[in-house]
């Protein structure tokens, strides 16, 4: 029974990721038509939806890890860091949406560099919170984390862009 519940939570997390990707792909850039010709906007993915997806992913991660009672004591800082970073990621998305369009490709590059710096700092926060817990995990538990977080190996040794990790999903 526990395996079925774990599988359902993992599938829920994966499904939520697909829904968020579909939402991001459905966003259409402003066209040349006048604003009054555009149909009314309906918000399909609300902040409450994002909170629900984050809750499901955190619960699924915790379930997949099958933490021992001693490891449970080390979990709270990890969850707090993930939630704070997801919140800041959503805030940055809102700031970018309100920002004026870039004037040149140099502006785009600069914004990209600035975003990577901030995400790197946020990722260091998660790493710091995760280190005590990671040190207590069994090899089997450690093996489960990368795929669940959306991490992948690069054949050429290049680091994965931070924006591809689900903790930064709200920023995209």
Q: At what angle do helices 47-65 and 69-98 cross, to 10 degrees?
A: 150
| Euclidean distance between CA atoms 93 and 50, whole angstroms | 13
pLDDT bracket for residue 141 (50, 70, 90):
very high
Task: Provide CB contacts within 8 A for 133, sequence distance 6+.
Answer: 71, 74, 75, 77, 78
* Predicted pLDDT at 16: 52
The residue-averaged pLDDT of 66-81 equals 96
Condensed to tens digits (0 to 9), the pLDDT of residues 80-98 reads: 999 999 899 888 888 988 9
Pick from 13-17, 38-42, 71-75, 160-164 the range whose average pLDDT is largest: 71-75
Domain boundaries, the chain: 2-171
Give the three-state DSSP class for 154. coil
Q: Please indicate whether residue 113 or residue 34 has the higher confidence score (pLDDT).
A: 113
């Amino acid at each position: 029974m526990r395996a079925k519940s774990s599988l359902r939570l993992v599938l829920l997390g994966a499904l939520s990721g697909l829904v968020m990707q579909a939402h991001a792909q459905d966003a259409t850039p402003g066209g040349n038509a006048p604003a009054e010709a555009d149909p009314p906007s309906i918000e399909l993915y609300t902040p409450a939806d994002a909170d629900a997806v984050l809750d499901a992913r955190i619960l699924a991660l915790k379930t997949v890890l099958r933490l021992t009672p001693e490891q449970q004591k080390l979990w709270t800082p990890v969850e707090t860091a993930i939630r704070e970073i997801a919140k800041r990621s959503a805030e940055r998305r809102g700031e970018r949406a309100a920002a004026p369009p870039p004037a040149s490709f140099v502006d785009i590059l600069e914004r990209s560099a600035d975003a990577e710096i901030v995400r790197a700092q946020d990722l260091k926060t998660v790493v710091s919170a995760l280190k005590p817990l990671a040190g207590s995990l069994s090899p089997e538990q450690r093996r489960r984390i990368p795929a669940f977080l959306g991490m992948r190996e690069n054949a050429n040794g290049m680091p994965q862009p931070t924006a591809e990790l689900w903790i930064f999903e709200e920023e995209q």
